[in-house]
Amino acid sequence: MTRSSVVLACALAAATCTRPSEERAGAEHEVGHAAAAGLTVDVTDRLAAIRTLAPGQLALWAAAPAIEVTVEVTPAAAGRWRLTVGNVVPDAVVALDGAALTAALPPPRPTVVVRDLDLTAGTHTLHVGAADAGAAGGFRVVAMADIQTGLPTVDQVFAAIATTQPRFVVCMGDLTDRGELAEYALLEAQLTTLPVPFYTTLGNHELWADSARYRDRYGPATFQFTYRGVAFTFADSGDAGLDPTTEADVDALLARAADRTQLFLTHFPPIDPIGVRDGSFRGRADGQRLIGKLAAAGVDLALYGHIHSYYAFEHAGIPAFVSGGGGAQPERWDGIGRHFLVLDLAAGAPPIVGLRRVD
Amino acid sequence: MTRAVPGRAALACRRLRRIGLAVAGATLLVAGDGRAEPPPVSPARRAAAVGLAAVPGLVVPGLGARTVGQPRAARRLLVTAGVGLGLIVVGGVPIAATYGSGKVVVPGVPMVVTGVGLFLGRWWADIYTAAGGHGAPRGLPGLEVGVDGRWRRHPYLGDQGQLGLDGRWRRDRWELRGHAELAPTGLAGARLDGRVRLWAPRGRVVAVTGTAVDLRVGTLGRRDRSVDPTRYTGEVAVRARLDLADLDPGLGGSFLDGEAGLGLELTDYAVGDPDVNGVLLSRVGWGVYLPCGRGEVAGFYDHRRDGPAGGLAAGRAAGFFGSVGVAAEVVVTPAWTAAATVEVGGAWVSTLGIRRSL
């Protein structure tokens, strides 16, 4: 019996792992840093993916309405560089060391900027994005999640989103069904139909393949940006929980924005509003611990995906929504179908959330 | 004529004698239940039976039992597998078709969990039968107290040790269990369970570990650390055990366990309003009785994710599964019972304890 117990324990040890996202949480910290061709690029707070860094070419994908990039240039690399930044607000401005740059080429679409940078040897600072990011006043955002098998027709959802005239879209993950390269290519094509930027974290379906595919394209999955005094904190819960490294990152981000109006976005609801279903964190106590932290940090609104329906509820007194209507196979008998949330936000004011059906 | 009032010791002896008689009666009933002596099986045939039960036996129920000359047991295992598959289909199809609608989770999930338990349990029972396994239910004392140590390795909380105090009282159809968890910082959790035996084929005495259906009502409170939310749960469940010898004497020595129920959990946060959420209880297990009434060992799957182990990090199916584990009880001496559990979910939880009957 003793030997069989040992064998069983070893089998269980091989079959189970309590930190499935440990490697991903560590890799997250490498986002926004790269060095090649005489350039060292460092994106503040990892708020962009570096898609290309090759002689004369620097291409970024922004994960926030305004990003700051520090560039160190070696003497050999000094000269003209073509900067392309995708996923920016349509009126984005680009400034190099405080001086605004004019467009090098007409942008292929409203969410892309192209500039030529004349870089001298030394350190430079680039600012790219919304000039009004630090301004006051209300604004509108759309929240959505769970595109998955709806990817071929998500342009219909994007078209409906465009009619609400949001400043940008936030997404709680599950952009693809299986994380396949063809799906990412299709998503890239579909995003060209969206006239505003799309800031997202990942979901469990992005983990059906190497998560680097997500990271290389869209950058961080755990990050925070502030727009007009409202903080948006995204967290990677793709394995139905937060890795300890991610949880420590989230702790720091929540604390940083504790005095602001703050939204928290992640894929898995920490606790399923239908408790007996448990479509949520894999450990209920882990979900409750996170909710306790959200409440302590004064989070004003929590947004989740994963469940392909719409639920409005509260946890620890925080208004919370599940909105998984991006086109994935819908939950039946709920009368919802494809949908998204329209958020009217302003610093210091309670968020106003509306449901918008697509079909 | 006056009758002398018996002393406490005499009462205890009488109680023990009564329990002993009940156990002996149950054992006699089991022994006299028409369990045929298994036909002699050569080592080669037994090895072949184990191989057949283990590999094709997953999809062809009862191959092992049939090979060792237990055709009726094989038929019963076939029926058990069929019932299991039926439950999986009846419970699972609505869940899949509605993509997890909350309206079909109950009773869908417990049906699927029970179905999988029956389907896999009959497979392991067939292997055990083919291997010549045997064993029988044992009697339990009327009063037990014990201590246990629990070690938990949690990805975020790290390694945690706890001391547990355990008490169990049984009388006729009734059982009461209490357990307190003591962490270095103080009381970390406590639970109280009451059970009543609803049905058993040989009398409804709870002090026998054979086939039975129990109603369990429990309440528990727990928090991981002083800074974490405190959780209080009330729950009601039906818990059943099928001693496979009652299915067919040829299958003696192993058993199937199952539990299904519902709970309500109140979460009290340090900041913010408390929450109330439902809890689905669904558990299955398969185990074997140790020879000579020395205890039992069982593997289990527990769908609930509110325990210290949480749910398995199940890769692509993350967020769907509960925990798996192995639990063993070994009667060291008539007075002492050792118990050990290893449970793996989002955390590893190992418990080792000892109880003394009084």
Condensed to tens digits (0 to 9), the pLDDT of residues A294-347 reads 999 999 999 999 999 999 999 999 999 999 999 999 999 998 999 999 999 999
| CA angle A60–A64–A67, rounded 5-degree value | 60
Cβ <8 Å between B272 and A292: yes
Give the pair of three-digit tokens for residue A294: 């959200």
Residue A46 to residue B225: CA distance in whole angstroms:
32
Residue B100: closest C-alpha in chain A? A331
- Supply the pLDDT for residue B27: 35
Q: How far is CA B242 from CA B284, B286, B297, B326, in A?
A: 11, 10, 15, 18
| Closest residue in A to B290 (Cα–Cα) | A1
ipTM more than 0.95? Answer: no
Chain B residues touching A208 at Cβ < 8 A: 316
* Best of A23, A146, A278 to mutate (most B CBs within 10 Å, chain B): A278
Please say whether the beta carbons of B272 and A295 come within 8 A.
yes
Can you read off the two tokens belonging to residue B42?
């050569």
Average pLDDT over residues B240-255: 96
Q: Do A282 and B305 touch (CB under 8 A)?
A: yes
* Phi, psi (degrees; rounded to nearest 5) at A346: -155, 145
The CA distance from A235 to A246, in Å, is 7
Gap from B271 CA to chain A (nearest CA, Å): 6
**Does B290 sit within 8 Å of A1, measured CB to CB?**
yes
| Beta-carbon separation of A331 and B314 below 8 A | no
pLDDT at B37: 60
Q: Which chain B residues contact residue A204 at CB under 8 A?
A: 316, 318-319
Select the residue of B280, B311, B344 nearest A283 (Cβ to Cβ): B311
**Preferred mutation among B50, B93, B95, B101 to probe A, highest tally of A CBs within 10 A:** B101
DSSP A219: -
Asked if the C-beta of A72 comes within 8 angstroms of chain B's C-beta atoms, the answer is no
Task: Please name the residue of chain A whose CA is at the shortest distance from the CA of residue B158.
Answer: A244
The CA distance from A29 to B219, in Å, is: 43
Which pLDDT band holds residue B31 (cuts at 50, 70, 90)? very low
Is the bond into B107 cis (omega within 30 degrees of 0)? yes
- Contact list in B for residue A329 (CB cut-off 8 A) is 99
Q: Among residues B175, B141, B136, B197, which one has the least CA distance to residue B18?
A: B141
Rg, C-alpha atoms of chain B: 22
Q: How far apart are CA B137 and CA B288, in angstroms?
A: 9
Using 70 as the pLDDT threshold, list the residues of chain A that sit under it. 1-16
- Phi, psi of A340, deg, nearest 5: -150, 170
Q: How far is CA A6 from CA A1, A118, A292, B28, B254, in A?
A: 9, 65, 38, 35, 20
What whole-number distance in Å separates Cα of residue A93 and Cα of residue A164? 23
B93, B111 Cβ separation under 8 angstroms = no
Predicted confidence (pLDDT) at residue B28 exceeds the cutoff of 80: no
Encode pLDDT of B170-194 as tens digits: 999 999 999 999 998 888 999 999 9
Of A247, A282, A296, the CB nearest to B311: A282
Distance from CA of A93 to the nearest CA of B (A): 41
Whether chain B has a CB inside 8 Å of the CB on A3: the answer is no
- Which positions in chain B touch A284 (Cβ < 8 Å)? 265, 305-306, 310
Mean predicted confidence (pLDDT) in B146-165 = 95
Question: Within 10 A of B43 (CB to CB), how many other CB atoms are there?
Answer: 8
Nearest CA in chain A to B279: A276
Cβ neighbours for B26, distance < 8 A, ≥ 6 positions apart: B137, B139, B202, B203, B205, B208, B210
pTM to 2 decimal places = 0.91
Q: Does A281 touch chain B (CB under 8 A)?
A: yes
Provide the shortest C-alpha distance from residue A8 to chain B (in Å): 9
Contacts with B, A 7-46, CB within 8 Å: 8-9, 12, 16-20
DSSP string over A92-141: -EEEETTEE---SS--SSTTEEEEEEEEPSEEEEEEEE-TTTT--S-EEE
* pLDDT recorded at residue B22: 42
- Residues of A within 8 A of B153 (CB-CB) are 18
Residue B39 is predicted with a pLDDT of 64
Task: Report CB contact under 8 Å: B105, A318.
Answer: no
The label of the residue with tokens 């090649």 reads A36
Residues of B in Cβ contact (< 8 Å) with A280: 319
How far does B305 lie from chain A, in Å, by closest CA? 5
- Note whether B319 contacts A282, CB cutoff 8 Å: yes
Q: Does an H or E element contain B122, and which?
A: helix B105-130
CA geometry: angle A120, A51, A77, nearest 5 deg: 20
| Contact residues, A window 195-254, toward B, CB-based 8 Å cutoff | 204, 207-208, 238-244, 247
Residue type at A209?
A
Q: Looking at the complex, report in whole angstroms how far the Cα of residue A277 sits from the nearest Cα belonging to chain B.
A: 6
Say whether B98 and A332 touch across the interface (CB within 8 A): yes
Long-range pairs for B199-203: beta carbons < 8 A, 24 or more residues apart:
B201/B246, B202/B25, B202/B26, B202/B29, B202/B30, B203/B22, B203/B25, B203/B26
Q: Is B251 helix (H, G, I), strand (E, B) or coil?
A: helix
A274, B278: Cβ pair inside 8 Å? yes
**pLDDT at residue B316 is higher than 80:** no
Question: Which residues of chain B are within 8 Å of residue A8 when distances are taken between CB atoms?
Answer: 299, 326
Mark yes or no for CB contact A275/B278 under 8 Å.
Answer: yes
Contacts of A318 in chain B (CB under 8 A): 272
Question: What percentage of chain B carries pLDDT values higher than 90?
Answer: 81
Element holding B323 (H helix, E strand): strand B323-331
Between B319 and B210, name the one with better pLDDT.
Answer: B210
Nearest alpha carbon to residue A348 among A137, A202, A156, A142: A137
Query: Element (H or E) spanning B241, and its range?
Result: strand B230-243
- Asked if B312's CB is within 8 angstroms of A282's CB, the reply is yes
**A306 neighbourhood in chain B, CB within 8 Å:** 319
> Nearest 5 degrees, angle CA A204-CA A158-CA A269?
30
Q: Whose CA is closest to B253, among B141, B132, B81, B139?
A: B132
By Cβ distance, the residue of A18, A307, A316 closest to B346 is A18
Min distance A350 CA to chain B CA atoms (Å): 16
pLDDT at A165: 98
Mean pLDDT value of segment B56-62: 95
Distance spanning both ends of chain B, measured CA to CA: 33
